[in-house]
Structure 1
Amino acid sequence: MLDAAVKALSQILSPPMRSILWRSIGLALVLITLLAFGLQRLLSWFASSGEVWLDGMLGPGFDTSINVLAWIVSILAGLGVVFGAVFLMPVITSLVASVFVDEVADHVELEHYPAERPGTALPFGLAITEGIKTALLTLLVYLVALPFVLVAGAGFIAFFIATAWLLGREYFELAAMRFRTPAEAKAMRKANGGAVFTAGLFIAAFVSIPIVNLATPLFAMAFMVHMHKRLSGPRPELIEPARKTRVPVA
C-alpha cells in the first residue's frame, strides 16, 4: 500500500499529468470560492436568525444547547472563506474527481500496466452523479460532526475518519467501475472494506495539507487505480499476449 502511495505521488508531477493538475486546481478554486461563500452566508444566517427559529421549534429545554451551537457557528461564520476552504476541500475533491477520473486513470494504467487491457471510460453522467452523491454525503457527515469541533478535538478526529471512509469509498469505486459494473464495484469495495478504509487514511492525510490538497483528485485516483489492481489479483483475461521479439539471425 505504501508503494502504491509513493507511485501515485511521483506520477502526479510527471509531465503527462501537469495539464490535468492545473485544470483540476483551477476547477477546485472556483468551486471552493462558490461553496465557501455559500457556507459563510448559511452560517451567518444561522448565527442571527437560526437561533430564534430553533428555540421556537425545540422549546426552552434546549436553550443551553442552542446557545452553545450558535456561539460555535458565530465563530465559524467569522472565519468565513478561510474556514470554508478547509472544511469543504473533501467535498470539492469529490466533485473535481468526477471530471478528471478517466484522464488520470488512463495515464496510470499506461505507465504502470501497459500489458493489461485499459479500463473503459465511465459515462460522464455516471461519474458526475457519483461525485455529487459523495459530495452531499460528505457535507452531511461534516455538518453532523460540526458541533463537536471544539470538544477536545473530537470533531477533527471525526472529520479525519469520515474523510478516510468517504473518499476511500468514492475513489476506489471510480477506479473499479472502469472494469466492473457499479454493483460489482460496490461489492468489491465492501469485500475489501478494511483495505479500502486504510487506503482512505492516506487520502485523508493528503487532503488535510493546505495548498497540497488541491492535487487530491490526482493523487487519490492514481493511488486507487493501484489499489484496485492489487486487490483484483491476477486476471489473465485482462492481460494481452506478450509480443514476441524477433531475434536477428547472425
Structure 2
Amino acid sequence: MLIQAVFAAARDVFSPALRRILWKSLALTMALLALVWLGLTRLFDWFLDGTTVAAEYPILEGFAFFLAGFGIFVALVYLLPAVTAIVAGYFLDDVAEVIERGDYPADPPGTALPMGSAILYGLRFAGLSILVNLAALLLFFIPGINIGVFFVANAYLLGREYFELAAGRFWPQAEVTGMRMEHRGTVLAAGAVLAGLVLVPVLNLVTPIFGAALMVHLHKRLAHRADKWPRIPASSDAPHLK
C-alpha cells in the first residue's frame, strides 16, 4: 500500500496537472530558505562584530567565517522540514483537489481548510519542528547518533503533519487522530520516506508537493481498505463527510 502510494506520488509530482503548483511551491520554498539564510548570516555578522577576538586575530576571523558558512548550511538542513511544513500547508489543498479529481473521481470530494487555518496549522507545526530539530542539532557532533535522531524525529513529525493535512479534508480532528494512531506504523514509514527525501540535495525542494501527494494517496487507500465511505458516481455532487 505504501509503496503504491509512493510511486503514485512520484508520478504526480512532475505531471502536467501539478506542474504549475510545483513551480509555485519551488519558488516559495526557495524564497523562505533565502530569508532564513539571510537571517542567519545577519545574526552571525552581528555576533562577530560584537567580539574583539576577530579584530585582534585576522586568521581566526577567516576561520570563523569558514565555520559560519558550514554552520549556516547545516542549520538550513535542520530547518528545511519546518519550511516544507509551511509550504505544504499553503499548497496541500490545491494538490489534493487535482489528485482526488483525477485518481478518485468516484469518491466524495474533500473540503479545503480555510487559508488562514491552513497557514496557522503549518506555522504551528513549523514551530514544533524547529524546537525538535534544534534539540537534534545539539547532537550534530556525535557521529552515528546525529543523523539517526534527525531522521527518526522528522519521520514522525513529517508523517503526522502531512497525513493530518490530507485526512483533515474529510474528517473531524478526533477521527483524523484516531486514523493516524490506528495506522501509525504506516504513517511513520511514509514520514520516513519524506525524512529521507529531505536529506537529498535539490530533490528535497519538492518535499512539500511530493509529501502532499503521498499522503493524499495513502489516506485514500487506508480509507478505502477500512470502507470508511461508500463509492458514489463520479457525476454526483456529494456532500462533505464532516
Relative to the length of structure 2, the TM-score reads 0.83
CA distance in 1 between counterparts of 2:74 and 2:214 reads 27
Show the counterpart of 1:95: 86
2:181 aligned with 1:180:
no
String of CA shifts for 1:37-92, please: whole Å, max 9, x gaps: 22344466678879xxxxxxxxxxxxxxxxxxxxxx99763325433432221111
CA distance in 2 between counterparts of 1:75 and 1:167 reads 32
Out of 184, 190, 206, the residue aligned to residue 199 of structure 1 is 190
Show the counterpart of 2:30: 29
2:7 aligned with 1:15:
no
Show the counterpart of 2:213: 222
Mapping of 1:148-163 within 5 angstroms? 148-163=139-154
Show the counterpart of 1:62: none
SS in 2 for 1:180: coil
CA distance in 2 between counterparts of 1:122 and 1:12 reads 21
Show the counterpart of 1:108: 99
> Is the contact between residue 44 and residue 77 of structure 1 (CA under 8 Å) also seen in structure 2?
no
CA distance in 2 between counterparts of 1:144 and 1:215 reads 25
> Is the contact between residue 107 and residue 234 of structure 2 (CA under 8 Å) also seen in structure 1?
no
2:79 aligned with 1:78:
no
Which has more radius of gyration? 1
C-alpha change, 1:46 and 1:170, in structure 2 (3 Å) is: farther
CA distance in 1 between counterparts of 2:183 and 2:172 reads 17
SS in 2 for 1:108: helix
Aligned length: 221
Segment drifting more, 120-129 vs 18-27: 120-129
> Is the contact between residue 37 and residue 80 of structure 1 (CA under 8 Å) also seen in structure 2?
no
Relative to the length of structure 1, the TM-score reads 0.80
The structural deviation recorded for 1:186 is: 2.0
Out of 227, 231, 238, the residue aligned to residue 239 of structure 1 is 231
Out of 157, 160, 167, the residue aligned to residue 169 of structure 1 is 160
C-alpha change, 1:139 and 1:75, in structure 2 (3 Å) is: farther
SS in 2 for 1:148: coil
The structural deviation recorded for 1:234 is: 4.7
Work out which structure has the larger RCO, using CA pairs closer than 8 Å and 6 or more positions apart in sequence. 2
> Is the contact between residue 47 and residue 74 of structure 1 (CA under 8 Å) also seen in structure 2?
no
CA distance in 2 between counterparts of 1:47 and 1:151 reads 26
Percent identity (aligned): 44
C-alpha change, 1:36 and 1:93, in structure 2 (3 Å) is: same
CA distance in 1 between counterparts of 2:66 and 2:181 reads 39
Out of 132, 138, 146, the residue aligned to residue 123 of structure 2 is 132
> Is the contact between residue 78 and residue 137 of structure 2 (CA under 8 Å) also seen in structure 1?
no
> Is the contact between residue 105 and residue 234 of structure 2 (CA under 8 Å) also seen in structure 1?
no
Mapping of 1:48-63 within 5 angstroms? none
> Is the contact between residue 85 and residue 125 of structure 2 (CA under 8 Å) also seen in structure 1?
yes
Gaps of 5+ in 1: 51-72, 244-250
C-alpha change, 1:115 and 1:136, in structure 2 (3 Å) is: same
Segment drifting more, 81-90 vs 18-27: 81-90
SS in 1 for 2:138: helix
